[in-house]
Amino acid sequence: MKRLVFALLASLAAGGACAQAGTPDKPTPPEWVIAAGEVNVYAGGRFEVLVVSLANEPLPDEIEVRVKAGPAEQPLKLAATGPASGERRSYAGTVPEGMSGPVAISLAGRASSVLVLMVASSRADPVQAFVTRRVGAGTAAEPPLSENDPMYFIVGGRDGYSARFQLSLKYRLFDHNAGLGQDQPWLAGFYFGYTQNSLWDLSEKSKPFRDTNYKPSLFWKWDRTDDKTWIDALRVGFEHESNGGADERSRSVNTVFGRADWRWTYADDSKLEFTPRLNYYFDKGENPDIAEYRGHVDWRARYDSGNNWISTAVARVGSAHRGSLLLDVSRRIRDLRFGPIGGYLHFQYFNGYGEDILDYNVRRKWQFRVGFAIVP
């Protein structure tokens, strides 16, 4: 369906360009077609387009487009987000400040189709931006408030009924188009993250929470903007994890971490991500041997079929040859999506040590739970 919509958009855009560029007797066919998967963007935000060379000409590392809003027109340079795939290549740029409403984009100096973007004010509510952004690196500028790790509520019945749910968000501390972030663009990479994960014992009479893990973090995030760097993204930062317990139930650990991201997109729109995270633990007096059960690397891989299925695996191998495996599989069950938020049937399998920080050195029976996710 996605390919069909893209084909229709490209055909309509190409037809519009022919009508504009040629005469009634001799319409000039476009040499290039320009299209976008996301046409709703905001002023000052990043956007991405796909350019197709119909004449099979080489696609450069940088292109110039004409941006027209009403009677005003200005040039804008777009940089390639990766290597060309045959006659297609993706480019990204920033929507000029002050623009709003329909904005027409065409390639400068070439007969091309015309793409129309709907530009909203950059002063949009960050919560609204969160629910209207599409998922996927480079499809649009990431809003100040965005998802971090999966968010779900799931229930299982092994060794008594239990539920597990997780909330996870991140907030960008500086905006790249205003204030300090505009003066020093590297500051726009700083984020505050927060993840909360709870295990709820539904079999006990009072339905108590077995454990709740709180994980605030501060990190710097970098994303690749060329086709030469050997990684796609990088995060480095500090994370505190604790359960807020008292006395013998208290657990906490501080971690300095670094995460590298590699991403691959295939012809059928499926995506594969490999994002290992390296951890160094300190201030771990309540659980000094935590590395024996968690290890120092979270081995994480994620596969998105490009349609309805998303699966994520996280493996840990401790220094004492103990570890764990977490497997999440999500199936989209709603046609309507609001950016990263949608409706997913969520399956989770866990086996190993430390499903929560209270039991970091305890191996319980494997668990399988089913429920609902809004961010898989």
How would you write the pLDDT of the chain (376 residues) with one tens digit per residue? 444 444 444 444 444 444 444 444 555 667 788 888 788 888 888 889 999 988 788 889 999 999 988 777 889 999 999 888 888 899 999 888 878 788 999 888 888 889 998 888 654 444 444 544 433 333 346 788 999 999 999 999 888 899 999 999 999 999 877 788 878 889 999 999 999 999 999 988 888 899 999 999 999 999 988 777 889 999 999 999 999 888 888 999 999 999 999 999 998 889 999 999 999 999 888 899 999 999 999 999 999 998 889 999 999 999 998 999 999 999 988 754 555 567 899 999 999 999 999 999 999 899 999 999 998 8
Domain ranges of the chain: 2-120, 128-375
Q: Which of the 8 DSSP states describes residue 85? A: B
- For domain 2-120, give its CATH number from 2.60.40.1170, 2.60.40.1930, 3.40.1390.10, 1.20.200.10: 2.60.40.1930
- 128-375 has which CATH code? 2.40.230.10
Fold match, 2-120 / 128-375: no
Direct distance between the N- and C-terminal alpha carbons of the chain, in angstroms, rounded to an integer? 21
Cα separation, 13 vs 50, in Å, equals 12
The Cα angle at residue 164 between residues 162 and 168, in degrees rounded to 5 = 170
Cα separation, 131 vs 352, in Å, equals 35
Q: 112, 131 in Cβ contact below 8 A?
A: no
Name the region of 6 (left: φ>0; alpha: ψ -120 to 50; beta: rest): alpha
Cα separation, 241 vs 255, in Å, equals 8
